[in-house]
Copies of this chain bind each other. A is one copy, B any other.
Amino acid sequence: MCEANAYLLKEGKEELILEAVDIVEPHEEGKIRLANIFGEQKVLDAKLKSMSLVNHKIVLE
């Protein structure tokens, strides 16, 4: 279970947007695509701020 939770930083607060993320990759038009182990995916107009695999945490902004 090495997936991570993805958060979007909004006005200084981290909002959980997708749990158990497996895939992180750039998408068209500067967006970012996240997909999790349950087959859910989200495409966000955001960029990577930080990621710690040890802490299972991805932060986008």
Contacts and interface: CB of A to CB of B under 8 A. Distances in A.
Q: For chain A, what secondary structure do more than half of its interface residues adopt (helix, strand, loop), or is it mixed?
A: strand
A51 B58 CA distance: 12
- How many copies of this chain does one complex carry? 2
Contact of A53 (B4, B48, B49): B4
B2 A25 contact: no
Contact of A23 (B4, B24, B52): B52
Interface of A: 1-4, 21-26, 37, 47-54, 56
The 7 A-B pairs at the shortest CB distance, nearest first, are namely A2-B2, A25-B50, A24-B51, A22-B54, A2-B53, A22-B53, A3-B53
Given A2-B56, A23-B52, A53-B53, 19 more contacts: A2-B2, A3-B53, A3-B54, A4-B53, A22-B52, A22-B53, A22-B54, A23-B50, A23-B51, A23-B53, A24-B51, A25-B48, A25-B49, A25-B50, A26-B47, A26-B48, A26-B49, A37-B54, A48-B48
